Each structure stands twice: as C-alpha cells, then as structure tokens.
Amino acid sequence: MDFTNYKSEEFFDEFFNATGEVRSLVKPLVDRINSLSKDELKTRQEAANAMFMTLGITFGVYGEQKAQEKIFPFDIIPRVISSSEWLHIEKGLQQRITALNLFIQDVYNDEKIFKDGVVPRELVMSAKSYLPVMKGFTPPNKVWIPITGIDLVRDADGTIYVLEDNLRCPSGISYVLANRSIVKKSFPNALKTMRVSAVDDYCLQLYSTLNALRPNRDCPNSIALLTPGVYNSAYYEHAFLAKQMGIDLAEGSDFKVIDDIVMMRKTHGFERVDVIYRRVDDDYLDPRVFREDSMLGIPGLMASYLKGNVALANAPGAGIADDKAVYAYVPQMIKYYLDEEPILPNVPTHICDEPKSRDYVINNLDKMVVKATNLAGGYGMLMGHQASQKERDEFKQAILANPRNYIAQPRLNLSRVPTIVEQTIEGRHVDFRPYILYGDDLYVLPGGLTRVALVKDSLVVNSSQGGGSKDTWVLKS
Amino acid sequence: MLSRVADCIYWLNRYLERADNIARFVQVNTHLMLDTSILGDDAVWRALVEITGDHDNFLKRYGTYTEDNVKQFLTFDVNNPNSILESITRARDNARFVSETITSEMWECINRLYLYLESVAHQDQQSFSHEFYEHIKLSNHLFIGLTHATMSHNEAWHFSRLGRKIERADKTSRLLDVSYFLLLAEGEQTRQALHVMHWAALLKSASALEMYLKKYHLIEHHHVVEFLLFDKHFPRSVSHCLRGLESSLLAIFEQTGRGQAPLAYVDNLLTLFTQVTVDDVLGMGLHAFIDNIQTALNNVHDATIATYCYLEES
C-alpha cells in the first residue's frame, strides 16, 4: 500500500501540489509510507484500532439491546500544517476569540454594537442561545469563553476559512491527545524527523485556565468537571480530562447548593466548589432557571453563579456568539471591537432572515449548503448539490416557515488528505478544529482535531455522519 | 473524595473479588469431580450454588444441579447478577464511573478483562476451560497488584480495600459454612482418603491448602475451620479480612473524621474473635457462629454506605 496510484483529482490536496508532486513539508512521511511493505501500513492501522479499544476510548450506541461500544474511526495518516501557516492560523484565532468575547460582554451589558448599527439587535435577541438571565452580568476576568474550538476548512484555492465557532462545550480534545499518543507508535521516526509540536501540555494549560477563574485565588477550594454522566457520548473525554487535571469528575447529583454556595457531597461532608468546568448544555444546567425536567444539572447553581460564588466555564449564554446567523457578522465584530481586518475570513453566509438573501438562497438551493442555526453535529443540514428535489423542496418550505432558523453558504471544496481506504490510499475531505484557551492569556494548542469524511466524495466530517479523525502535525519553525 | 466515587470504588472491588472467588470455586470443583467422589455430583455442584446464595434463582430456571447447568449459571448467565460475566461487567461499569480516580493501568486491566470475557461469552461454544477460569483469576490478581503498586494508598485505596475484604470475608465464611455441613453430614462414614480429598478441595477453594499444610501438615476438620476463621496471617481467613477492614476504616476515619458506626461493628466482631476458640465455635455450632459473622458483615456494609455515601445536610 503506497502512493503509486494516488490521485489528487481536482481538489486541493494537503500532501501533493497541483502537478502531483509531493509537498516538501510531508516528504519524510510520504517516503516512510512508501518504504513500508505491502501489509505493514494496514497492520499499523489495525494496531491503532485495537489500542483505542483497550484504552476504552469508545462511545456507547444505546438502543433496545445492551449497549454496544464502538470506537470513533481513526486514520493513522496525519494531516500536516507548516509552521508559517500555523502562525497565520494562531494569530487569526486569537483575534477572533478576543472579538467574540468582547461581543458577548457587550450583548449582555452595554449593547453598543446594536446602538452603532453594526449587528442587528433583533437577530441576536431572537437566537435561542440568548439568555435573558445573564443580562448585566460580567464573568470573572470578563472572560465568557475560556474553552473553545473553532472549525476551519481549506477551499480549493488553498484559502483557510472559519466555518463555525464552537463556544459552548466543544468536544474532541481528548481525541487530539489520544490520536497523538497512538500515532507516536505508528510513525515514530517521521514524527521526530519532521519536528512536530507536542500537544501533551493541553491539560496543564486547561487547569491553569480554570484556576484563573477562581472567585478567590487566596483560599482555593475545589475545581470540578460536571458531566452529564456515563451515557453521554463524550464521557470518555470528561473522565480523561478530569484525570489529567486531577480534579473531581462529578454528576449533577454529586452537588448541592446550600445558601447559594455550591457544595460537593464528599466522604468527609460537604465541600465547597470554586470552579465548574461544565460539559452540560445551558438548557440543562439548572432546573430552577432553565429546563425544569433536567436531571443533569444542579438546582440553584445559577443563583450561586450570578452572585459570583462559583465560576463556570464556559459562561452560560456564551452560545449567543456561535449562533450560525450571528456568525455572519463576526468579521464586522472584529473591525468594530479591535479596529483590525479579519485575519481568517468567514465563509460567505446568507442569512435567510434577510429577505434578499432568502430569495437568493431559495432560487439557488442546488448550489448551497443550508444549515439550521440552532443545531450542530451535522444535523439539520442540506447539501444542496447532492440532495434530491424532494429534500430541497422540504428545506424550501422549512426556510419559508422559519427563516431565522436557517443560513446558507456556497459549497466549499474542502481540501483532502490521503486516507487508508480498505487496501489503498485515497484522498478524503477534511476540516480542522484547533482548541483555544482563554485564561490569564490566550493560548492556542499547536495541533487540533482533523476530522475526515470517510465516505467517498462526502463533505460532511461529523462523527454522527460517517466521519473519522486524524492526528494533526503542526511543524515547529 | 466524592461520596459517589467512594461507593463505586468499593463496589468495583467487591464485584472483582466475587468473580475471582466464583472462578476458583468452579475450577476446584471441576478438578475434584475428576476423581472419585464420595458425594453425588449434584450435591457438590449444588453446594456451589448455595455458597453464592442464589439457589432460588437457579432452581427456577435450571431445575437440576448438573455440572453444565451450574457452570453456565455461575459463569455466563446474564440473569444471574452474581455470575462471573455480570460481576465483571458491573465491576467495569463502576471502573468507568471512577476512571478519573483509579490509574490508567488499573482501568486498562479491567477493560481488557471485560473485552476478553465478552469475546468468550459471544462464542458459539462457550468455554468453561481451565484456561478461561485461570485467566479470570490472574487478571484479578493483576488488578490487585496494580492497585497496590500504581495507586496512592489514599482514601480511595482504602475504600477499594474495604470492598475486597468484606467480600472475601463473606465468601470464605459461606464456603466454610456450606462445605462443612455437607462434608460432616455425609463424610463421616466414608473412607478417610476420600474424606481428606474433599477437605483439601475446600482449602483449595480458598487458595489455602499450601499455607494450611505449612502450619498443620495434616488435614483435620477442626484445624481447617480454625485456619479459615482465625488464622492471623493467611490473607483469606475471616480474621485477617476483619483486621484489614478495621485498619482501612481507621484510615478513612482519620481522613474524614467520620465512621464510628462501621468501626464499632468491626471491633465488636474482632473482640468476639479473640474471646472464642475453634472448640467453642464447633461446640456452639459452626453455622450459628457464621450466621453471626454474616449479620455483622452486613451491618458493616450498611453503616459504611450510610456514613460515607448518603450525605444529608446537617
């Protein structure tokens, strides 16, 4: 199995240039793969899969029968990013996160950006993720979004765009770390020769980020990670992060709010908590304020939070800035708050709530990717060029019925990375999610999660839709 | 530590200890049955089900105490909550709940064991081979070793020890209770050699034969009882388990400032152990004495869970 018959076709290939020559940054890796005997690559891939199973990096598929456990598909051929391109990405992400954070603070406080007519007030206020209860609130250090992940894609001409912001509970970081530890066994020499940046210190950085949120740093209490529990598909990640930081992994029922102080039930009695890294959505966080039927949250949490007795990462209501319609205005936010040109461009976005855009979208559905503004994970999405007429008609009706709920973007030809497909190597489309931490300062992990659409010609990389992942090698300068 | 985590670690270890005991019981019985038996086959296999305390469940669904039925029931039966498969599945579920508290080495060990068991359980022809039970036992010993060597001997470690010791004390005492009754009732009239073989099997079921012989050299039933109940140094004797319980409860007490109730139950039992001899026990009736132990162990369990795992606002 090697690159002899590999074809880049008409796409941007991360390994080969337009004339089919191997890009110099990946040459040691390509040479290594070409030098392996026929079955060796496959053997290494199978060893990697077995390792995921043994490590228990699985998610449950729960149906009527006993839960089945599966691993997320993983491809051992990494994606590689040059040091110069990384610098560009890093700067762009820092800029974007800074602006998004200022935007959230503004939306819940002074509303200057509405008053100055840069972002329409109605668009923001109509988002489901807007939480009136947060009005007038400022979180510790004015940081609403300590832990984020931004989805990037590369189009056919090589430009890197921001596809989506994930400002709530972005998952996948444990895969970044697991993928690396496994690829270290698949390609140890190439990893060393190519001078790949280490990703191992993410959890230390994460702990520092959480620590920076303590209401009182002089007499620290516990930091805990709130998980929805073992049946959540990201439970492995929650346990992994808690273990790597040495903090408690707790469920809603492990907490009790007493006199507006959040306590944990410990063997020695109740113990106060300073900071909660919550992996439970806003809606489920506190049944007294949000969904009454939530069994995952902590009754009374919000009252304690709003009094400043406990810090939450990320802050409730931060999702207002990753609404898919609000996304269209991020370039304007960057100019407005920072007086800078955006370093990483947005994908051109049509907001269906705006009549002219809506007409355009409806007349060009076959060229568009339509997304529901309040859904993630590849759900509520129409890939216009691949959809049937019936599906397009259904989306047309849905858009007309609730235009605020939809945006549309032109279809991008996501770049491809060589991927093991049965007995050969073929190009598959990828995106990229780097992770950013905003504590005392802004830290971008030099690496990230490359998600790959394993289905031939598919542009949807979500794990719920047949996607897998790859390790990402950011080269040192 | 979190109350829920303490509870999970405790149960994780109880379940593993349970699976280990059952694997050993089945293995020993299988070997014993290869030799001429003084007892009917089904009496021996029946005793095994009685030790686990699940004979109602067994009778309802299997009817007769054949070797195959009992092995199936104790090994792969998903409707027997105490089968090896179910015990290890629950142990692993609990390990997942607390995977941030135990070490990666421990988690991988139990996860591998679970994956192995699942693969065997789903084979068309389920294996009751010697190697299979050996694998269960060795994995369990590996887990105990990893717990000892890779984890801080902190509060969580002491909760895991509590689970181990209480389950072990329970199983050793039940094993003795059931077997003693069986062997004494039917054994006296039979040839001495066969009789000894059965007592040896009882000791083997508690991994105790070699250590017993080092101390007593000959197999006498009251020595067997003495060894399994009172020996100070043998790690599966009830007395040894109780001392382990006491020292871990004390350690947890020092950490948390709580736990007088479970400690008091253990101390009462330990006091009783210093006051009686094996002759007293056999005089008053072994079954009655073991009944006392079982009740006390249940009290220790209940008081432990109530003290540490169900916290109420004071």
Contact A53 B255 (CB under 8 A): no
Work out the minimum CA distance from B68 to partner chain A, whole angstroms: 25
Q: What burial class does residue B67 get, using C-beta atoms within 10 Å of its C-beta: 0-12 exposed, 13-18 middle, 19+ buried?
A: middle
Contact by Cβ (8 Å): A101, A144: yes
Q: SS3 string of A410-476?
A: ECCCCCEEEEEECCEEEEEEEEEECEEEECCCEEECCCCEEEEECCCCCCCCCHHHCEEEEEEEEEC
Q: State mean pLDDT over A98-119.
A: 97
As beta bridge partners, residue A369 has A383, A409
A222-226 and A248-250: which strand pairing? parallel
What is the residue type of B195? H
Query: Can you spell out the DSSP letters for A28-78?
Result: HHHHHHHHS-TTHHHHHHHHHHHHHHHHT--EEE-SSSSPEEEPPPEEEEE
Q: How high does pLDDT run on average in chain B?
A: 91
Q: What burial class does residue A257 get, using C-beta atoms within 10 Å of its C-beta: 0-12 exposed, 13-18 middle, 19+ buried?
A: buried
CATH of the domain at A95: 3.40.50.11290
**Three-state secondary-structure class, residue A149:** strand
- A203 and A122 co-located in one domain: yes
pLDDT digits (tens, 9 = 90+) for A298-317: 999 999 999 999 999 999 99
Q: State mean pLDDT over B187-213.
A: 82
Measured between CA atoms, the residue of chain B closest to residue A224 is B2
- A355 and A240 co-located in one domain: no
Q: State mean pLDDT over B123-138.
A: 87
**Which chain B positions have a beta carbon within 8 Å of A54's beta carbon?**
108, 111-112, 115
How much of chain B is helix, strand and coil, in % rounded to 5? 80, 0, 20
Contact B93 A249 (CB under 8 A): no
**Which chain B positions have a beta carbon within 8 Å of A269's beta carbon?**
256, 258, 311, 314
- A158 and A229 co-located in one domain: yes
| pLDDT of res. B185 | 67
| pLDDT of res. A185 | 93
Task: Tell me whether the omega of the peptide bond preceding residue A314 falls within 30 degrees of 0, making it cis.
Answer: yes
**Which chain A positions have a beta carbon within 8 Å of B249's beta carbon?**
none
Contact A265 B108 (CB under 8 A): no
Band (pLDDT 50/70/90 cuts) for residue A72 is confident
Which of A391, A435, A74, A371 lies closest to A241, judged by CA?
A435
In a domain, A171, yes or no: no
Contact by Cβ (8 Å): A204, A241: no
Band (pLDDT 50/70/90 cuts) for residue A64 is very low
**Which chain A positions have a beta carbon within 8 Å of B159's beta carbon?**
267
Measured between CA atoms, the residue of chain A closest to residue B108 is A55
Work out the minimum CA distance from A346 to partner chain B, whole angstroms: 39
In a domain, A242, yes or no: yes
CA–CA distance, B168 with A349 (Å, rounded to integer): 66
Cα angle: A272, vertex A275, A276; to 5 degrees = 100
Contact B3 A243 (CB under 8 A): no
**Which chain B positions have a beta carbon within 8 Å of A266's beta carbon?**
1-3, 256, 311
The mean-pLDDT minimum among A16-25, A34-43, B176-185 falls in B176-185
Residues of A contacting chain B (CB within 8 angstroms): 53-56, 230, 235, 239-240, 242-243, 247-251, 253-254, 256, 258, 264-270
Which of A14, A430, A444, A442 lies closest to A199, judged by CA?
A444
CA–CA distance, B121 with A173 (Å, rounded to integer): 34
| pLDDT of res. B192 | 66
Q: Which residue has the tokens 């139990």?
A: B110
- A290 and A396 co-located in one domain: no
pLDDT digits (tens, 9 = 90+) for B44-93: 888 899 888 888 999 999 999 998 999 999 999 999 999 999 999 999 99
CATH of the domain at A401: 3.30.1490.270
- A367 and A422 co-located in one domain: no
CA–CA distance, A336 with A99 (Å, rounded to integer): 9
What phi, psi does A61 have (nearest 5°)? -110, 105
Work out the minimum CA distance from B309 to partner chain A, whole angstroms: 7
User: In chain B, what is the greatest distance between 2 CA atoms, to the nearest angstrom?
Assistant: 64
Tokens of A134: 């947060």
The mean-pLDDT minimum among A34-48, A80-94, B5-19, B266-280 falls in A34-48
**Three-state secondary-structure class, residue B217:** coil
In a domain, A1, yes or no: no
- A156 and A293 co-located in one domain: yes
- A145 and A237 co-located in one domain: yes
Work out the minimum CA distance from A252 to partner chain B, whole angstroms: 11
**Residue A56 pLDDT > 50, yes or no?**
yes
**Which chain B positions have a beta carbon within 8 Å of A251's beta carbon?**
4
Contact by Cβ (8 Å): A322, A130: no
**Which chain B positions have a beta carbon within 8 Å of A250's beta carbon?**
2, 4
In a domain, A28, yes or no: yes
- A202 and A80 co-located in one domain: no
| pLDDT of res. A470 | 97
pLDDT digits (tens, 9 = 90+) for A246-264: 999 999 999 999 999 999 9
- Select the residue of B99, B104, B311 nearest A265 (Cβ to Cβ): B311
**Residue A66 pLDDT > 70, yes or no?**
no
Q: How many CB pairs under 8 A join A and B?
A: 74
**Residue B36 pLDDT > 80, yes or no?**
no
Q: What burial class does residue A272 get, using C-beta atoms within 10 Å of its C-beta: 0-12 exposed, 13-18 middle, 19+ buried?
A: middle
| pLDDT of res. B298 | 97
- A433 and A365 co-located in one domain: no
| pLDDT of res. A70 | 79
In a domain, A383, yes or no: yes
Contact B108 A55 (CB under 8 A): yes
pLDDT digits (tens, 9 = 90+) for B172-189: 999 999 888 887 766 555
Contact A266 B311 (CB under 8 A): yes
Contact A264 B2 (CB under 8 A): yes
Percentage of chain A beyond pLDDT 90 is: 78
Which conformational region is residue B85 in: left (phi greater than 0), alpha (psi within -120 to 50 degrees), or beta? alpha
In a domain, A17, yes or no: no
Distance of CA B194 to the CA centre of its chain: 26
- Select the residue of B2, B93, B255 nearest A254 (Cβ to Cβ): B2
- A314 and A362 co-located in one domain: no
Measured between CA atoms, the residue of chain B closest to residue A240 is B100
CA–CA distance, A360 with A26 (Å, rounded to integer): 42
Contact by Cβ (8 Å): A372, A406: yes
Contact by Cβ (8 Å): A135, A128: no
User: In chain A, what is the greatest distance between 2 CA atoms, to the nearest angstrom?
Assistant: 69
Domain holding A304, by residue range, is 90-166+198-338
What is the residue type of B78? V
Q: What b/e sequence results for A303-320 when a residue is b if at least 16 CB atoms lie within 10 Å of its CB, and e otherwise?
A: bbbbeebbbbbbbbbbbb
CA–CA distance, A46 with A423 (Å, rounded to integer): 12
Residue A112: partners with Cβ closer than 8 Å, 6 or more residues away: A106
- A129 and A63 co-located in one domain: no
**Which chain A positions have a beta carbon within 8 Å of B100's beta carbon?**
239-240, 242-243, 247-249
Cα angle: B176, vertex B177, B182; to 5 degrees = 95
- Select the residue of A53, A249, A270 nearest B311 (Cβ to Cβ): A270
The mean-pLDDT minimum among A244-258, A428-442, A460-474, B277-291 falls in A460-474
ipTM: 0.85
Q: State mean pLDDT over B103-130.
A: 89
List C-alpha distances in Å: A198 to A90, A185, A194, A411, A441: 15, 15, 12, 34, 20
| pLDDT of res. B188 | 56
- A185 and A237 co-located in one domain: no
Q: Which residue has the tokens 């509970």?
A: A169
Q: State mean pLDDT over B220-244.
A: 96
pLDDT digits (tens, 9 = 90+) for A360-392: 999 999 989 999 887 766 677 888 888 899 999
pTM here is: 0.90
A84-91: list long-range contacts, CB under 8 Å, 24+ apart: A84/A477, A85/A160, A86/A197, A86/A446, A86/A474, A86/A475, A87/A477, A88/A160, A88/A343, A88/A344, A89/A152, A89/A160, A89/A344, A89/A434, A89/A444, A90/A444, A90/A446, A91/A343
What is the residue type of B139? S
**Residue A63 pLDDT > 70, yes or no?**
no
User: Among the three residues A285, A312, A338, which one is the final residue of a domain in this structure?
Assistant: A338
Contact B2 A56 (CB under 8 A): no
In a domain, A9, yes or no: no
Ranges of beta strands (E only) in A102-186 are 147-154, 160-166
Q: How high does pLDDT run on average in chain A?
A: 92
| pLDDT of res. B194 | 67
In a domain, A14, yes or no: no
Contact by Cβ (8 Å): B71, B128: yes
Contact A243 B311 (CB under 8 A): no
Measured between CA atoms, the residue of chain B closest to residue A251 is B4
User: Among the three residues A409, A441, A456, which one is the final residue of a domain in this structure?
Assistant: A409
